Each structure stands twice: as structure tokens, then as C-alpha cells.
Structure 1
């Protein structure tokens, strides 16, 4: 159990440093990952920035992820679920287009005139405050890959064993402090897991 996101990030950063993990750039998935990623970046002496993705919610059940799309259009689809629900290509593309635009808009919230860092040739570590299905993390890893990062890894405080195993197929490495078999939701592993505003999240980039 973590006290809050900062506590989780402090523990995660210490664990990564103990393992000898190196990164040039830590990318947090806003908003909730920023308080986790700041102490991770500090521990690894890496730059901190953001990578944004949006879940592709199923028609009539937006909490059910058909996949996820990053701000640059990089996408991951849950093909088995799409086939099971019978979602047609036109509907899926409409959802993807809408959510990709929303992700791009969200990214602009965190950007100044200088734009973002280049990922090409960088050792990139994506950080989230936890994974459940890992849908948004998958799209973020895909974006880093498409940007020609030299290495792409993921670090989270907590996630279920199957999701962590699935993500390991997409990343050079996946680091998780806890992989509880009785996982139900990310928030259950935090004593304090309130919403993080954009304004508060951006303070961690300073």
C-alpha cells in the first residue's frame, strides 16, 4: 500500500536506481502519473516530460477499452474485444479520430512554444501511477517506438500480473513494484488517490 502518488514514485525511483536502470527521458502519462514520475526522474537524473494517450471506449460502455490512441496517432487495438463486440471499422475509426484529437489537445495543455523533446535515440522510460488493462500505456509505448527511441521501457508502482506480462511483449523492460494476484483497481493500492488537476500536474514539470 502506498501513501500517495509521491510516495509510490519515491519507492519506484529508489527501486529503479537499485536495479541500475538508466534513462535519458522519463515520460509521464498525465495527469495522475506526474506526481509518480517526478521522483523517478530525479532518482535517475533524467529529464521529465509527458506522453498522452486516450482510451478508445466501447459504444455504450466507454469504460471498456477497445484500445487506446496516443497524441501522434499511434494506436493499439484490443482485436479480440473488437471482434467479440462486433464493432465495425467505421465506428472504430470515428472513435479513434475523436480520441486522437482529444489526446493532441491535452498534450497542448502541457506544451510551451519550444515544443516537446525529441525521442529519437533516447532511452525512454514511460511512467504511470499503475496499470489495470494497460491500454493507454500500450499506445504510449507505441508512440515512443514510432519516434525511434533507442530503448522503450515502462515503470509503474502496481499492476496485475497478466497486464504486466502482456506489456512486457511491447517494451524492452517493464518494472512494477507490486503485481498483486488480487488486483481489482489501481486506487485500492493507495491510501490517498484523489484526482490530479492539470494545473497541479504541470507543476511537477518545473
Structure 2
């Protein structure tokens, strides 16, 4: 159990230091990951930035993720769910374009410039406050790969065991402090897990760049 996101970030940072992990850039997935990513970036003496992805909602059920798309257009689809729901190619293309644009706008708003950081040849750690389905994390990791990073590590305080296992194919290393068998939602492992506002998230970036 973590007190809050800052406590989770400090404990995650300590574990990454213990492992001797080196990084040039730490990327938080807005908004909730920024309080977690900030202590990690500080401990690893790395730049703090963001990588943004948007969930792709199912037709008629926007809360059900059938995939995710990052700000550079990198996309992941849950093929089994897409097939089971009979989602059309037209719908997939339409929602991918719409949410990719939303992700670009969000990234530019956070970064105050181009929505994608220059990651070529850099050692990158992607941080989230936790992994449930892993949809957005997967799209973010693919974006980092597409940006020609030297290495890609996913580091989170807590994650679903099944989701963390599937994400191993997307990164050089996947690290979670906890992968509890009774995982239901990320928030159940935090004593305080309130919303992080855009304004609060940006303050972490301003202090970390």
C-alpha cells in the first residue's frame, strides 16, 4: 500500500537506484504519473518529460478500451476484443485519428512545444502510477520505440500481473514494485488516489526540465 503518488514515486526511485538503472529521460504518462515520475527523474538525474496516449473506446461504450493511440499515431488494438465486438475498420480508423489528434494537443499543452520529445539514442524510462489493462502504456512504449530510443524501460509502483507480463514484449525491461494476485484497480493500492489536475501536473514538468 502506498500513501500517495509521491510516496510511490520515491519507493520506485529507490528500487531503480538499487538496480543501478541508468536513464537519460524519464517520461510520465499524464496526468497521474507525473507525481510518480518526478522523484524517479530526480533520483536518476534524468530529464522529466511526458509521453501521451489516449484510450480508444468501444462503439457505444467509450469506457471499454479496445486499444490506445499515442501522440505520434502509434497504435495498439486489442484484437480479440475488436473481433468479439465486431468493430468495423471504418470505426477504428475514425477513432484512431480523433484520439491521436487529442493526444497530440494534450502533449503540446504539457510540453509547451512539439508533442513528441527527441528520444533518439537515449535511455528512456516510462513511468505510470499503475497498470490495469496496459492499453495506454503499450501505445506509449510503442511511441518511444518508434522514436529510436537506445533502451526502453517501463517502471510502475503496481500492476496487474497479466498486463505486466504482456507488456514485457514492448520494452527492454518491465519493473513493478507490486504485482498482486488480487489486483482489481490501481487505486486500491493507494491510501490517497485523487485526481491530478493539468495545472498540478505541469508544475512537476516545470521543476523537472
TM-score (norm 2): 0.96
**Given that residues 154 and 175 in structure 1 are in contact (C-alpha distance below 8 angstroms), is that contact kept between their aligned partners in structure 2?**
yes
Secondary structure in 2 aligned to 1:110? helix
2:80 is aligned with 1:87: no
Other-structure match for 1:198: 198
User: Runs ≥4 in structure 1, deviation > 6 angstroms?
Assistant: none
How many Å separate the matches in 1 of 2:65 and 2:113?
A: 33
Contact 2:152 2:171 in 1 (8 A): yes
CA 1:116/1:70 → structure 2, altered by over 3 Å: closer, same or farther?
A: closer
Q: C-alpha separation between the residues in 1 aligned to 2:113 and 2:55?
A: 27
Q: Which residue of 2 aligns with 1:157?
A: 157
- Residues 54 and 136 of structure 2 are in contact (CA less than 8 Å); yes or no, is this contact kept in structure 1? yes
Q: Confirm whether residue 175 of structure 1 aligns to residue 175 of structure 2.
A: yes
- 137-146 or 59-68: bigger deviation: 59-68
Distance apart, 1:109 and its partner CA: 1.1
The equivalent of 1:108 in structure 2 is 108
> 2:130 matched to which residue of 1?
130
Question: What SS does structure 2 have at the residue aligned with 1:188?
Answer: helix
Shift of the alpha carbon at 1:196?
A: 0.4
After superposition, give the CA deviation of every residue in 1:31-64 in whole Å (9 maximum; x if it has no partner).
0000000001111111100000000011111121
2:48 aligned with 1:55: no
Give RMSD over aligned pairs: 1.1
Measure, in 2, the Cα distance between the counterparts of 1:165 and 1:194: 27
Hey, what does 1:41 align to over in structure 2? Answer: 41
Q: 1:117/1:87 Cα in 2 relative to 1: closer, same or farther (>3 Å)?
A: closer
Q: Which moved more, 1:83-92 or 1:108-117?
A: 108-117
Provide the C-alpha distance between the structure 2 equivalents of 1:115 and 1:83, rounded to a whole number of angstroms: 32
Q: Deviations over 1:155-188 (max 9, x none)?
A: 0000011111000111100000000000000000
Paired residues of 1:41 and 1:48 also in contact (CA < 8 A): yes
Q: Distance in 2 between matches of 1:47 and 1:22?
A: 12
Q: Retained in 1: the 8 A contact 2:72–2:143?
A: yes
Contact 1:49/1:116 (<8 A) preserved:
no
Q: CA deviation at 1:17?
A: 0.4
Q: Is the 8 A contact 2:108 2:114 kept in 1?
A: no
Aligned residues: 206
